[in-house]
Structure 1
Amino acid sequence: MSESLFADASKRLANAIKYVSISEDALEHLKYPKASLNVSIPVRMDDGSLRVFQGYRVRYDDTRGPGKGGVRYHPNVSMDEVQSLAFWMTFKCALLNLPFGGAKGGIALNPKELSRQELERLSRNYIEAIADFIGPDVDILAPDVYTNATIMGWMMDQYSIIKRQICPAVVTGKPLTMGGSQGRESATAMGAYYVIKAILPRFEQLPENTTVAVQGFGNVGAIIADLLQQAGYQVVAVSDSQGGVYHEKGLDIPSIRQHKQEHKTLKGIYCQDSVCDTISGETLTNAELLALDVDVLIPAALENQITEANAAEIKAKYIFEVANGPVTSAADKILAEKGTYVFPDILVNAGGVTVSYFEWVQNRSGLYWTLAEVNQRLQEKMETETRETWAIAQDLAVSMRTAAYIHALNRLGEALDAKGTRDYYVNGLVH
């Protein structure tokens, strides 16, 4: 992971700041994370050996409410990456008008190399290390890359053991039997689907005439591919970390998903097969998938997939960022010059944190909603903020990314300024 990831993430604000009326105090506040934690996590392995893993948690801002953000397990996890993700979460929560700030966490490891028992010990020990840093009113965890409902359940249970009381609201994305919400597992993909449905008709882009490529056939990428195919879009290519498959007439997404779900490792959590092995068609690399001549490209894997080095090769007309930070700021400029429309991560993938908010509300109230109620509330939230962001982009003649940051900055600025600004103290204003 590049050490400049946070610096690159911060550049997103440059184009937005000149369009907002925000105090210097608020801008100064948003330059730095509120708190960062780096912990060592000792784990007794199945063979009796001891390994120590590096874990992180960053609470970037909590002006609008407790921190909110996922925990990822990946070899490239670093403080720079986690801080960048927490930064993005700050603006994502403000953009969706959720009563949360931004946070993120992670552990540097390859989770596919650990057994189920080792993963459980790792997850519980991570909570032991950060328990004083999190809480239902302080910082709320959620699943992210290579974490899932089972892992979230372990984390919630461990926190409850430490606090000697049941604390379901400290973690979202839990199993339903432990206080999870209906629709949480599919929330990120559903939210992205609602954004795509709201945006493409504005360009008179009909489903039956639209080809789609999805990079990242994990939980989110697989669901969004399935949803789009059911809606009549032609999903012609998908890929995972091992490579991809392409068929010009469209893929059978349900059969690929079924194969991935059936062929799991003996450890029972992660798949071992590549999508390349699941269906006849032309195999291709992730780089080749990104450069396909399709209408819609959906990066749903990791950060920095489209950079200055390959942006000129992108042929898609529309890019919907389902992953966090898949397009760098340098690539944004190249894509804009090419006339490519990029719809930003802080809007497109915000369905996950929105339903996490719903789960947190349900945990606090003890009143639980049906799947239909969750999806209806999610659709209303995503469509409302998509419309408002689109209106800002049209009114100011700016990109959707800049419009999203303008929208979020306005909300963050109001919250930060409510605590007092330089003008308030210097001029003695009283309200």
Structure 2
Amino acid sequence: ACDPTKLSRNELEAVSRRYMQEMIPFVGPKTDIMGPDMGTNEQVMAWFMDTYSVYQGYSVNEIVTGKPVSIGGTEGRRESTGRGVVYLIERAMDMLKMDPEKSTAIIQGFGNVGSVAALSLGLKSGVKIVGISDHTVALYNPKGIDVKAAELHVQKKGFLRAFDQGDRIAPNELLEQPCDILAPCAVDRVITEKNADKIKCRILAEGANGPTSPEADLHLNKRWDEVFVIPDILCNAGGVIVSYFEWVQGLQAFMWTETEVTDKLFRILEHSFSQVIKRAKRDKVSHRTAAMAIGVERVMKAKKMRGLFP
């Protein structure tokens, strides 16, 4: 394991290409494709694609998603997860009759997901962002944080560490500050059995994968009338949905504008959100259980139709 932020560009390229070289027997455009996550970016995806293509003897754009638009990437892929998080937050706010301009939000994580979510919520929806963090610092300011200034700072410095628009507090304490919307968009298991009863939000939007531990989920289930949970399986699905679009684009040589991609994304999220809410109400279960049940049922039906062979 290595910290990519401590590698030179040449070192990161060498590690990335070697990794893909070893993965070639296990991946393919119709078997398993790769996409970006923590520690990687579109440049790494470009190296992955190029390395795989060299071994095939021709360009295989569809082997990875999240690559630069100049080599077959999809417009809006980088922003897709954060945009999806915000779209679902807005749908939840509409259901709960919350006024965005009178609401506050805390965003944990300021990478592709957190920064896009913070900017969209703060600049487009009108929500006051009162807390942000990355792995270097957690900032809280009940008067509001200029998220555009924060983004520019990160673009120049790489981290939020020296940004000074708030009180510096412990990362775990940030999650317990009062707000209307809490969006953990960084790492897993930050909401635990110890702090699940301490969070003071109306909407919990899980932008990260697995930010809530199973034990914490039991506590949140008891607070269903206080905390509206948008589970990760739904909340952060925007990225993989648009990755699917990019894969199809590569296979079929399609070209879509960013507006077309975003419209398609929002239509899918709208349908999924409605299905989860209906299922949760019908079965009197949590949103997470409803989402998982819908997914498992779809797999079960497909397996049943295919049967077993040999």
TM-score with structure 1 length normalisation? 0.69
**Matches of 1:330 and 1:396, distance apart in 2:** 22
Matched, 1:146 2:39: yes
- Post-superposition offset of 1:245: 1.2
**Matched AA of 2:189:** N
CA distance in structure 1 between the partners assigned to 2:229 and 2:2 by the alignment: 31
Between Structure 1 and Structure 2, which shows a larger proportion of strand residues?
1
Instruction: Using the TM superposition, give the Cα deviation of residue 367 of structure 1 relative to its aligned residue in structure 2, in angstroms.
Output: 1.7
What amino acid is the match of 1:179? G
Instruction: Give the percent of matched residue pairs that are identical in Structure 1 and Structure 2.
Output: 38
CA distance in 2, matches of 1:229, 1:280: 15
- Cα displacement string for residues 98-139 of structure 1 (whole angstroms, at most 9, x for unaligned residues): xxxxxxxxxx32112211111101111011111010000000
1:200-241 deviation digits (Å, cap 9, x = unpaired) = 211111101211000111121011000001211111000011
The aligned residue for residue 253 of structure 1 is: 147
Counterparts of 1:135 and 1:317, CA distance in 2:
43
Q: CA deviation at 1:276?
A: 4.5
Equivalent pair of 2:92/2:203 in contact (CA under 8 Å): no
CA distance in 2, matches of 1:280, 1:163: 51
Match of 1:181 in 2: 74
Determine if contact 2:146/2:165 at 8 Å carries over to the other structure.
no
Give the drift of 1:352.
0.3
Task: Report how far residue 371 of structure 1 moved.
Answer: 0.8
Q: Which residue number in structure 1 is paired with residue 11 of structure 2?
A: 118
2:219 is equivalent to residue 334 of structure 1: yes
CA contact (8 A) 1:256 1:279 kept: no
The secondary structure found in structure 1 opposite 2:131 is: strand
User: TM-score of the superposition, structure 2-length normalised?
Assistant: 0.96
Say if 2:278 is the partner of 1:391. Answer: yes
CA contact (8 A) 1:335 1:341 kept: no
- Are 2:127 and 1:240 equivalent residues in the alignment? no
Counterpart in the other structure of 1:356: 243
- Is contact 2:89–2:203 with CA below 8 Å preserved after alignment? no
**CA deviation vs aligned residue, 1:278-321 (integer Å, no higher than 9, x gap):** 23321112111111111111000111111112222212222110
1:169 to 42, 47, 62: 62
Give CA deviations for 1:308-342 in whole Å, capped at 9, x if unaligned: 12222212222110000000110011122233222
SS of match in other structure, 1:214:
strand
Equivalents in 1 of 2:35, 2:279: separation in Å?
Answer: 30
Tell me the equivalent position of 2:156: 262
Q: CA RMSD in A?
A: 1.4
Q: Deviations over 1:342-369 (max 9, x none)?
A: 2111100000001101111111111200
Q: How many residues align?
A: 307
Bigger radius of gyration, 1 or 2?
Answer: 1
Amino acid at match of 1:282: D
Deviates more, 1:186-195 or 1:309-318: 309-318
> Hey, what's the Cα distance between the residues in 1 that align with 2:238 and 2:186?
16
The gaps in structure 2 that reach 5 residues or longer are none
CA distance in 2, matches of 1:341, 1:382: 17
Q: Using the alignment, how far apart are the partners of 1:281 and 1:292 within structure 2?
A: 13
Three-state SS of the structure 1 residue aligned to 2:33 is strand
The offset of 1:262, in angstroms, is: 1.3
Flag the structure with higher helix content.
2
Where in structure 1 are there 5+ consecutive unaligned residues?
1-107, 264-270, 426-431
The amino acid across from 1:257 in the alignment is E
- Alpha-carbon contact 2:110-2:133 (below 8 Å) kept: yes
Aligned to 1:316: 201
SS at match of 2:133: strand
